[in-house]
Amino acid sequence: MVPESKKNHRRVISRTSTLPNQNEYTLALDRELSHVAFSEERAGQWKGLWQTEIFRASQHLGDVNRPARPLDLEIGTGNGTFFAAQAKRFPERDLIGIELKYKPLIQTIRRALRDGAENAIVIRYHAFNIEDLFAPNELNDIYIHFPDPWVAPRKPKNRVVGQPILDSLFEMQKSGSALNFKTDSREYFLWAMDEIRKTKYLIEFETMNLHQSLWREKNFETAFEKIFLKKNIEINFVRLIKP
């Protein structure tokens, strides 16, 4: 059950099974890719069970005898370039991606599968309802890259990286885990930093020009990021740690 204090940031989203006009992406969710792509209707039943019932027990992904592994999360996968690269780079970790739009969601998991990933799944879900999906201390590292900045018109209540969502994510992460946030929007970043300082997270690294910082060598350039860099837009970045 979602605490009363957190209900005000929840969002109502369409149900895939009731869409009047289906296409290859909506149909793939519960058919072709049902073993690695979960609709909003199927995903909620696995809260607290992703490792034991999906990654470890699934005939497609896991081995019932293997120990549970770190479980990372990307919120807003876009077309999946980071997601696929991360799954391939760290095969010893498991990775879940959340995306609301059908086409990028399916493109993301298809990209990962083409790269040979056996440690990745995606979920169609709204990040504002994330309490439905994960139990306390279920997650390890979290990545949020270039979410909608909601600056025109200015609507900060719709921003993912705000105190309500961050407080929820903090509870879902294990101690010592990190949360990485990147945005091209300086307005969003400055607003988010004020929100972050209201939370229990520790700020490990913060910069308003990622590609001129010490973190540059550790950074993976997403598809959006490459576009922004070509336009000489500075990338804002912060890495948070749950103590």
Beta pairing partners, 121: 96
Catalytic residue among 30, 148, 167, 184: 148
Q: What is the 3-state secondary structure (H, E, C) of 176-234?
A: CCEEEEEECCHHHHHHHHHHHCCCCCEEEEEECCHHHCCCHHHCCCCHHHHHHHHCCCC
Long-range contacts of 160-163 (CB under 8 A, 24+ apart): 160/75, 160/76, 160/127, 160/128, 161/188, 161/192, 161/195, 161/196, 162/192, 162/195, 163/195, 163/196, 163/198, 163/199
Nearest to 200 by CA among 166, 159, 176: 166
Helix (H, G, I), strand (E, B) or coil at 65: coil
Q: Are strands 120-124 and 178-183 parallel, antiparallel or unpaired?
A: unpaired
Is 148 one of the catalytic residues? yes
Residue 120: what residue type? A
Active-site residues, by number, are 148
